[in-house]
Structure 1
């Protein structure tokens, strides 16, 4: 029997499934075809091969083909091996190390002149990454990869031979766990007509589901880290092809190029080459009479956001491809949409309505794969030269004065040109009028607005372990980092030894700039004077801001004694035990890792308190919220063993006089719902990393009441509370639950939603009995139901008395970084700086109201730090995070997404403090 493991909190459940037939043994000396190797041929209706079967086939092919080498690149979140099938000619496979070294030298470009680059490009092979399965319910990609591999290994035609000779293709699988889950769930029903995977009970990547394609620059999931290592530290492919589904309605597949805007930080060569590859893909489909491909306006995909597998490629000088195709194991129909029957540039060959089978999608996939590989084969030397050229140009830009022109700088030129006229232009083309060309030098090349030559991170940081986590995210993306071995001067400032230096004179300069500098997204409208045009994903995400890293932008060149970081990951400086007192320990609250230490102490039964006033230990003055741990052998052992966390502890001779809030072990209920909510999954991952004890809880458990007997804290992540369309709280989810009879009995307790009539009274009773409720993002719809003190600020009152969020023409902030003021005297904000950069994604702030204590407030009319904002001035005076007393309990309402995709480390403390403070406050009453 095959077992399907379904992760739930700290436990795993198992579902018994019908056993699959053993693969057929092929004839001796022949390469087994998919039809021979699987009980049913992949691509057949109502059949999905799971990862076990896929993995077995890979091993069989590798053992029998001289065109393929199978490489283990790491483990998935659930412990499965991630394989990459390297496909090329036998002669190339015999020289893989040499070709990988050529790819590295050309991609990094350091120390390689043009003559050397040409020689390397002539010798080298084009490297292409083609993946499958990132989003596991997008079933076409894995089933098609099985066939593409077989055809590449068995084909004898001239095109196949040319591809094998001229390229090295890395076929990867991005999500083994998801494939196993989805395929097994689909195949669980004996009757093919009953098979479906819409009702899978949890996320198809253990923690983050679909957001495994938003983790690329942060690289926190093990699958992302493994892929990034292959792409940017080992193989350096010139083309990265990330395959998805589903395609636009009435069509078959979206193929690049993409719509604007593209990000201003990467090389335009990336975009022009991307258009070439996209054209080759469309041309092949059209020439084979495979209609229904669309580009640009056919779908909303752009190239702005850095977080996706195909888009992080652009910041590494690689061509990033995305396709989105229809299809699946259950046949479907292509509908008739009359407007799509008229051919146009963005849809050159329309397709009529018809029944569509998985086999049809597989043939399209094969054509697109071969188009990409054939393009790489025919343009091998040019691809290799251009990746060198982009890297070399990046290094050169980082060594001289350079400027990045963004929408704000263009607006500055227009402002400077007001009231002035200039000669030139051609009225025939009716373009924008020219302005004084001198403004190019004075405005667009203002010396004060040069791009940095480097970013310097002093060793003394508010939260050094978090700064190290930021540097490690850069390292995972192949960024070169140096550390000073002696003091040096840069930008007129003296820096000590141990400082980290990230120079922009490196091949991956676009990624460096994108992680440190604010994104300046254009003011993109549906039409002049119209509403904002929604971006494909978020618009502002500057990682250094989100993580609260202290750094200096250095605009001029400098030198010093530096050594390049050779390790794949940096460890934070070990925590020290300082001082000689024997009464106990004072520990700062500034590091996020202090919560790991706190949780370890509490788990061991060691007393821990927060100090309510500033406290001095030796020469160090601690801000309010510092930890007080009385001396004991248990405390000493845990603090010593936790030195790798990078948290210092100061021994003192007497207990501090400040008031103390005694912490207690907490029982956290992390609310989720059937099918899984991604923000809840990210939060689950965070709680595990910081060692908070928790249990995933579903609405039925809440509805049963007596919640206080089970939990001290309930956490409602963004999206865990249903919100009506057109309501005060944008976003959220609107789930469609399966019927209980249609799923195994083990999962029926996961069904249900948070409801006003049944769940809210139970939560209200929980809070008034001393429980803590934490609501984030759209889940603040629940906060408003629990307390009149939490009222949405940016709303319009409708005729029926209800309210709706402001329309997008008045207020629209689609995923940006904003600055806000923090009241650091409040326990909810202990350890935070007076200002914080918050991630804000169509969030809803609150009205300052009686009964609510503001903790974080928008105090500026221009809070935007990175991204795009329409109507940002309306935020001034509103409350981002508030605390409300509910009987003996607490309600902590957090409007912005304080744990968004586990990236904004600077605001994690709001959640972590809330988890500990609420129960401690209730216990003290």
Structure 2
């Protein structure tokens, strides 16, 4: 998959397509006698033609035409996109099946949920039911093969009457959604804007192809915060429950055509192993179909880095829901290309059974491969319909049963402990472990180490009501519900394991079909130590290794190891933001705790209305309760009264009225003028930050390097945010080097995008930013952007490096490697940058940098006080973090620099660390005025 990074902007309106139509004798799909309009007759050119891309607007019109012409298709609008388009899904099956969709959807639901259903009843349902297969397109909009292919696949299924097609229509309900309508319109319109076909390209698109997150729309699955992801998850895990989820991508491995599963290790230890064995079956079927159709060039496992560990992707979240998740990565595009000669790919092997010769390649070639890949999946589902449905039930029933008894999930830490206990002696090969004695213990004793009672999997989790940030708790629970997890709520007080919990507390039991997903969201990930070879460097994981959502969001919960019950009722749907309370007599004003993230949205509303807001620096006791440092003081006024009332209702914020103003020292806030740095082509971390700022109602402007270079920034901004990846690195940089952005010739793009061009440079941009800070501005740097903080002279330096003479060098991966994990750090929550936070917090650390002071004027806000801070994921050399600083508050002249080494806003998931950024936006300007 190509990772294209693009910027935010309005929807592009481009030139109309050329009027030429592909020649009839060169059609990818032939004509038919069923009255179904062929793609060649519905678009200006046939989708799949060289130098042509069909956009979503025409695709949508074509789907609506097909629905009117065919009794094999039903068109369903599954929701709105981020830019407001309708997201369509075509349901394709036989006319008889379409007439009974509700019945078959109910069967799929009952088998997936596996509740109150015997195996005999499940077998009867499986015999009656239809396999459900999801085959999507267009998730990554610059991966153009998938959308152009879907047009032809649907057409062929509606127009062909061969025995295989008719059998598949009878046995399978096929779901064909489009994952990213906004992106398809953007990419197709940009590609087609030039009249000369040979000049067409989409590498220079100015913005992200999903409004906020671009390529990361395939990392949002367990959070489902983007509307397109929420729409897809609802269909997959709450409505239709497909047994196979086929997520199509490109580009394929060099010298080959397409990657097709099976995947490489490691797989995640939480999901049912039947998912993986079935996945391998389907993948092998796909390879065999290509070979049988004389379509060489497919590869598996070792030809690509894809694993099945991370839960955040469309195809991988399927595993935690007992579905087979497929990923293919194919070459191709509207501009013809060549398959290069790669000598190693010319030798047949298990992972590359049929090599392909170097040759010119066209989009229509890829479409033919996609047809047979789709065909293989549908054929498998048809021939194995009952087995798929019954195994779907069996996995769910097994998960429920495991949640109702003592069970253990074996992870690498357990195996390491077992080896340590066994010692260095090897058992006699002919006798095996059964008679192996080590350190005076027999094998049965050793094995019992894997089943210690205290290491059991939980029977469930209790999330107590009354937490400091209940709106964030509800956001966490809604993320579970969006993924089909059953969440219950207590209707009255109850006691479990000697602990009393109040009414309104939430309960998530593991005795449910989606138990693997529940465990993955609450329990730490223990990624294996995966090396290129013994003693060699670590093998980079595919994406991140530790992401436990309950940790990232700072949720307080209790793990319950024994069976329990109580006055619990199932939550029927997404939970509304809990109502806040306003208490006391507010003749002087209100105190608001700083602990809720939504308090920032309330503050922004107050400032927008001109209501003064202050932070109380010390802990105080007022209104009969203790407030931590940072309590928000809002003086009484009519305008404030209205906003506070709405804030309680809409934001769930609690406020306490006082009849006299507090006498403690306060920090008076000003409405900050915020600039969020972005770049031509788009920055995903900046896009996620933009989405966050909008959610919490911060006013801001997007700023590009050309504006930074002009200087006089203090005239327009109080705060500048540099998200991870927005500051270019260099060869000697100790900070992770971001991907290079594409900088087209200004004359090749519309004039309105030319101000977005440019890069942050050391000779021009850095002095302008240094001047901004020294004259009272606030600079916030996150992740790799902390290189900028050092360049502008902040009295802080990198702590993770090795010294080679006078030169600092990046630590070797063998010495230090933490690829996307959660590490625990201490927090000084008496400091304004950490107001409202707990004493410890889990930070998302992705090969980040850590810091040490280099002079006066620095205050450590968060630091590592342990040699083993890893909480979830994988870490080598983590002891090097001890006594280094994760978050610094540094003075620079009259201004502030807030350095945040870990990605405190990573993919808008770590709600527990948002306050570092949000506090900085208010505190910096307030402290320097």
TM range, smaller chain: over 0.9
Q: Is the 8 A contact 1:713 1:919 kept in 2?
A: yes
| Residue 616 of structure 1, aligned match among 621, 627, 632 | 621
Q: Distance in 1 between matches of 2:132 and 2:226?
A: 25
Equivalent residue, structure 2, for 1:774:
780
Matched, 1:683 2:689: yes
The one-character-per-residue Cα deviations of 1:84-122 (angstroms, maximum 9, x if unpaired) are 100000000000000000000000001111000000000
The one-character-per-residue Cα deviations of 1:264-295 (angstroms, maximum 9, x if unpaired) are 00000000000000000000001111111000
Closer, same or farther: CA 760–501 of 1 in aligned 2, 3 Å? same
Equivalent residue, structure 2, for 1:78:
83
Matched, 1:227 2:232: yes
Equivalent residue, structure 1, for 2:790:
784
Q: Distance in 1 between matches of 2:804 and 2:62?
A: 60
Matched, 1:447 2:453: yes
Matched, 1:866 2:872: yes
The one-character-per-residue Cα deviations of 1:28-73 (angstroms, maximum 9, x if unpaired) are 9711001111110000000000000110110000111000000000
Equivalent residue, structure 1, for 2:257:
252
Equivalent residue, structure 2, for 1:728:
734
| Residue 381 of structure 1, aligned match among 377, 382, 386 | 386
Following TM superposition, by how much is the alpha carbon of 1:768 offset from its aligned partner in structure 2, in angstroms?
Answer: 1.3
Aligned residue runs from structure 1 range 313-462, under 5 A? 313-418=318-423, 422=427, 425=430, 436-462=442-468
Following TM superposition, by how much is the alpha carbon of 1:493 offset from its aligned partner in structure 2, in angstroms?
Answer: 1.4
Aligned residue runs from structure 1 range 902-913, under 5 A? 902-913=908-919
Closer, same or farther: CA 335–23 of 1 in aligned 2, 3 Å? closer
Matched, 1:31 2:31: no
Equivalent residue, structure 1, for 2:112:
107
Q: Distance in 2 between matches of 1:61 and 1:268?
A: 40
Following TM superposition, by how much is the alpha carbon of 1:22 offset from its aligned partner in structure 2, in angstroms?
Answer: 11
Q: Is the 8 A contact 1:422 1:436 kept in 2?
A: no
Q: Distance in 2 between matches of 1:809 and 1:264?
A: 25
Structure 1 gap ranges (5+)? 1-5
Following TM superposition, by how much is the alpha carbon of 1:798 offset from its aligned partner in structure 2, in angstroms?
Answer: 3.9
Equivalent residue, structure 2, for 1:553:
559
Following TM superposition, by how much is the alpha carbon of 1:558 offset from its aligned partner in structure 2, in angstroms?
Answer: 1.1
Q: Is the 8 A contact 2:462 2:560 kept in 1?
A: yes
**TM-score, normalised by the number of residues in structure 1:** 0.97
Closer, same or farther: CA 524–13 of 1 in aligned 2, 3 Å? closer
Q: Is the 8 A contact 1:854 1:882 kept in 2?
A: yes
Q: Is the 8 A contact 1:7 1:206 kept in 2?
A: no
Q: Distance in 1 between matches of 2:716 and 2:646?
A: 31
Equivalent residue, structure 2, for 1:3:
none
Matched, 1:526 2:526: no
Q: Distance in 2 between matches of 1:287 and 1:27?
A: 25
Following TM superposition, by how much is the alpha carbon of 1:462 offset from its aligned partner in structure 2, in angstroms?
Answer: 2.1
Q: Distance in 1 between matches of 2:442 and 2:882?
A: 37
Matched, 1:68 2:68: no
Matched, 1:150 2:148: no
Matched, 1:118 2:123: yes
| Residue 861 of structure 2, aligned match among 855, 866, 870 | 855
Q: Distance in 1 between matches of 2:250 and 2:276?
A: 22
Q: Distance in 1 between matches of 2:442 and 2:42?
A: 70
Aligned residue runs from structure 1 range 492-891, under 5 A? 492-567=498-573, 569-643=574-648, 644-725=650-731, 727-799=733-805, 801-851=806-856, 852-891=858-897
| Residue 301 of structure 1, aligned match among 306, 313, 320 | 306
| Residue 12 of structure 1, aligned match among 2, 10, 14 | 10
Aligned residue runs from structure 1 range 174-213, under 5 A? 174-213=179-218
Equivalent residue, structure 2, for 1:271:
276
Q: Secondary structure at the match of 1:85?
A: strand
Q: Secondary structure at the match of 2:914?
A: helix
Superposed CA RMSD:
2.0
Closer, same or farther: CA 16–153 of 1 in aligned 2, 3 Å? closer
Following TM superposition, by how much is the alpha carbon of 1:420 offset from its aligned partner in structure 2, in angstroms?
Answer: 6.3
Following TM superposition, by how much is the alpha carbon of 1:773 offset from its aligned partner in structure 2, in angstroms?
Answer: 0.3
Q: Distance in 1 between matches of 2:894 and 2:11?
A: 36
Equivalent residue, structure 2, for 1:46:
51
Q: Is the 8 A contact 1:67 1:87 kept in 2?
A: yes
Closer, same or farther: CA 618–126 of 1 in aligned 2, 3 Å? same
Q: Secondary structure at the match of 1:838?
A: strand
Q: Distance in 2 between matches of 1:88 and 1:29?
A: 16
Structure 2 gap ranges (5+)? 25-30
Q: Distance in 2 between matches of 1:376 and 1:579?
A: 63
Q: Is the 8 A contact 1:413 1:439 kept in 2?
A: no
Q: Distance in 2 between matches of 1:919 and 1:574?
A: 31
Following TM superposition, by how much is the alpha carbon of 1:492 offset from its aligned partner in structure 2, in angstroms?
Answer: 2.4
Q: Distance in 2 between matches of 1:751 and 1:902?
A: 26
Instruction: Give the number of aligned pairs.
Output: 913
Q: Distance in 2 between matches of 1:27 and 1:871?
A: 64
Following TM superposition, by how much is the alpha carbon of 1:620 offset from its aligned partner in structure 2, in angstroms?
Answer: 1.1
Q: Secondary structure at the match of 1:775?
A: strand
Q: Distance in 2 between matches of 1:427 and 1:499?
A: 50
- Of 891-900 and 15-24, the range deviating more from structure 2: 15-24
Following TM superposition, by how much is the alpha carbon of 1:476 offset from its aligned partner in structure 2, in angstroms?
Answer: 0.2
Q: Is the 8 A contact 1:538 1:816 kept in 2?
A: yes
Closer, same or farther: CA 751–7 of 1 in aligned 2, 3 Å? closer
Following TM superposition, by how much is the alpha carbon of 1:334 offset from its aligned partner in structure 2, in angstroms?
Answer: 0.4
Q: Secondary structure at the match of 2:693?
A: helix
Aligned residue runs from structure 1 range 126-145, under 5 A? 126-145=131-150
